[in-house]
Amino acid sequence: KINYKKSDYAQYVESADYIKKKLNGKIPEAAIILGSGLGEHADRITDAIIIPYREIPNFPLSTVSYQKGELVCGYLGGKYVIAMNGRFHYYEGWEMWQTAYPVFVFKLLGIDKMIITNAAGGINESYTPGDLVRVKDHVKLSPDSPLRGMNIPEFGERFFDMQSVYDKELAAIAHKSAEKYNISLCEGVYGYMSGPQYETPAEIKMLKLLGADLVGMSTVAEIIAAAQCRIKILCISCVSNMAAGITGAAITEEEVLEAGKKIASSFASLITDIVKNI
């Protein structure tokens, strides 16, 4: 049976209308999706209106314990933004289209730029845990797509180009801000694995052969949705640990979250400055 549920455009409109009412007609200049352990950016948002996901019609709910599950709408770097504190992962049991659901809702709010952060394992041996890497492309090691099923023409074409979603102008702004704050910001390719288990050393070897510098379990569904509805993307990963088999050390959830916390305040300053300049 074809997935007709995904194609119900009206449900997205209903979600967006609810949020629009809460924002009193303000149109956010950018959406920010906060990764694991990287919720601190949301604390910098002032005059915030908080909208719990559970209040929004048709919105999925966060099931990851350390993620909050709310939209934080307010000012960051002088710009009106909407941040997702808590995102949806395929490994939680959501369908891939549900993990990308908020992106289309953001599109309906009039948003055309999105900043995505995540915690990722470092495959490229020049990285050290705590490094920030701007994602310039990705490899998706899962046959699924958030757009599998009936297309919603209101959001874009059935078949579309993926070559320009990682926006060059936003990238340039990010690198300039990083320079200003003396934060080294390299570039890398993100390898998507569906998880929830961390990868095996052999899988990491494979990802490396395929050109991936980072590995993680999020982000790519949202990027694909953004590409279809022409939202420009800036994606920055925090290297939480070196990926399996690289140092031989065990990988733990604590370590993955800790790395994010350690650099949280410089990462938040960087994001704030980027937002100021977009």
**Which residues contact ligand CYT (rule: CB under 6 A)?**
119-121, 193, 195, 198-199, 215-217, 240-241, 243, 251, 256
User: Cβ distance 72 to 85 under 8 Å?
Assistant: yes
Nearer to ligand CYT, 73 or 204 (CB): 204
Nearer to ligand CYT, 49 or 141 (CB): 141
Nearer to ligand CYT, 152 or 220 (CB): 220
Query: What is the Cα–Cα distance from 203 to 246, expressed in whole angstroms?
Result: 12
* Residue 258 φ then ψ, to 5°: -60, -45
- Give the 3-state secondary structure of residue 273: helix
Minimum Å gap between C-beta 192 and ligand CYT is: 9
Q: In degrees, to the nearest 5, what angle opens at C-alpha 264 toward C-alphas 37 and 31?
A: 75
Which residue's C-beta sits nearest to ligand CYT? 121
In 152-217, alpha helices (H): 168-180, 201-209
Minimum Å gap between C-beta 255 and ligand CYT is: 8
Minimum Å gap between C-beta 121 and ligand CYT is: 2
Minimum Å gap between C-beta 98 and ligand CYT is: 20
User: Cβ distance 263 to 238 under 8 Å?
Assistant: yes
Nearer to ligand CYT, 89 or 107 (CB): 89
Minimum Å gap between C-beta 274 and ligand CYT is: 23
Nearer to ligand CYT, 83 or 119 (CB): 119
- Give the 3-state secondary structure of residue 270: helix
| Residue carrying structure tokens 């352990």 | 37
Helices and strands, counts by H and E, the chain: 9, 9
